[in-house]
A and B are shown apart, each in its own frame.
Chain A
Amino acid sequence: MEPHEAGLVDRAKTRSPEAWTEIYTSHYAAIFRYAKARVFDETTAEDIASAVFVGALKGIDSYKYRGRPLLAWLYRIARNVVASYQRELLVPRGESQKRSLDLAQRVIWHLMRRSRRDDVRAADHDPVSTGSSEADPAMMVERLDLRDALANLPANQREVVILRFLVGLSAQEVAEVIGKKPAAVYSLQARAILALREQLK
């Protein structure tokens, strides 16, 4: 995997369309899932995922491959884009007149989103209940409003829960992506499970 990725990065630096197509098709789903777990909106998640790859294209010249998966780098860009999106959401930039208008729009959007959150439990809006089995554990997960639950978790636990359960990476892959040891990922999972379970009580 490593030699292949190293070669892929080299080709990406030469602006090879084939290399970029391969990077995109290999990692789009993971980045989309991550974005969706962070913003809870499919269209926004799609836009963010696209923006991540355009950002990667712009930053590839300064990226150095040192054996860590390319996904780790894309994940960091994704975190960055999501954070910027959330900042933009809260603090409009630009001239002051536009600012007040945007702020009002944002407040309305937040209110709408909040009310939608209350009445939507449909499977297609809940990233964890989608396609869940009818077994007890899945029902348990359905009882959990993951949006609120994730928001209440500390950032490092939340990132591990998202990457492990919503993106679908293995513990080993999560460890590589966030740059920690697998033992740390198991520990963060345990902490997150304990915290989530508390919220279910």
Chain B
Amino acid sequence: MDRKLRKILTECIQDVETGARDIEGCLQRHPDRAADLRPHLELWRGLNAAAKAQPNSGSQQRGQHQLLAALSDMKTRGKRRMIPFLTPALVKSAAVVAGVALLAGGAAGASAAFGGPNVADEVLTAVGVTNGSDHGPNENANPNAFEGSDNAGQGIGNASETGRDHANPNALDGPDNADQDTDGSDAAEDGLNTAEENTADQADDGLNTAGDAGTPDDVPPNSPPVPDSVPDSAPIPDSLPAVP
């Protein structure tokens, strides 16, 4: 590819877009390359002038209703899952106590089986819990109830957090630059791909996209099937459009 032409074209596009000069002005500035430049700038102008697709207002409204219904559903589920008096701190401390009681119960059972001392009492005393006389640790221990509540309280919104470590916002830049930069100078010329930008991107988004994770987002229609083992760490909504 003609690198000089590309450089001039970049300059012209920038000038035209920022209003520094128009296409004719740009061609006059590079008379020796005007013949090469003109069709490219005409194509750019044609693309730029093309009308943009307009969404159907009915579909837009339906989508809005779907969104608000999902919002309402989320609110309802959030309230139902989190019983008001079970604050996360309370739930966690109760789960810890129950866990200790369960451990003590197991140890006591084993100890009793071998004719040893009452380990349960010792463990509970050690952690500052007084054991009641008529109910054993096993009766107290029901960690599932507490843990279940805890999970429910945290449930919403976790889908987007999974696999954040895989995030790679460079998915857009990487392969193409590698393909085309024959002289190694383009990265500097373009101002593309600084490490700082990439790190900032990764932190910014708060979710992991398939593109970020390096999953191909540009699968052409006639590509071979992708194996099932493709990591699918993306926060995909439940309502993925059905295949026509």
Contacts and interface: CB of A to CB of B under 8 A. Distances in A.
Interface of A: 15, 17, 20-21, 24-25, 28-29, 32-33, 36-37, 41-44, 46-55, 57-64, 66, 68, 72-73, 76-77, 79-91, 93, 102-103, 105-106, 109-110, 113-114, 127-133, 135-141, 151, 154-159, 161, 164-168, 170-171, 178-184, 186-191, 193-194, 196-197, 200
A81 B189 CA distance: 32
Given A28-B60, A28-B63, A165 B50 contact: yes
B50 A51 contact: no
Contacts, number: 310
Interface string B199-238: 0110111110111100111111111011110101011111
B145 interface: no
B231 to A, nearest CB: 11
Interface in B28-63: 39-40, 42-56, 59-60, 62-63
B244 interface: yes
11 contacts: A32-B53, A73-B205, A105-B243, A110-B222, A140-B39, A180-B191, A186-B13, A189-B10, A190-B13, A190-B40, A194-B40
B13 A15 contact: no
B219 A90 contact: yes
Q: Which 10 A-B pairs have the closest CB atoms?
A: A137-B46, A47-B241, A131-B51, A59-B160, A83-B217, A61-B157, A154-B176, A50-B63, A55-B237, A141-B46
Contacts of A196: 43
Contacts of A129: 50
Given A91-B228, A113-B221, A64 B51 contact: no
B179 interface: yes
Interface size class of B (residues with CB under 8 A): 35 or more
A129 B51 CA distance: 7
Interface string B65-79: 011101110110000
Contacts of B50: 127-132, 138, 141, 165-166
B9 interface: yes
A114 B51 CA distance: 24
A154 B53 contact: no
Contact of B46 (A113, A114, A138, A180): A138
Interface stretch (B94-102, B111-119, B132-140, B167-175): B167-175
Contacts of A180: 173, 191-192, 197
The prevalent SS among residues of A at the interface is helix
Contact of B51 (A86, A113, A132, A157): A132
Contact of A41 (B5, B220, B244): B244
A138 B176 contact: no
B86 interface: no
Contacts of A193: 9, 13, 40, 43-44, 47
Contact of B56 (A42, A166, A179): A42
B126 interface: no
Given A28-B55, A151-B220, A171-B17, A81 B176 contact: no
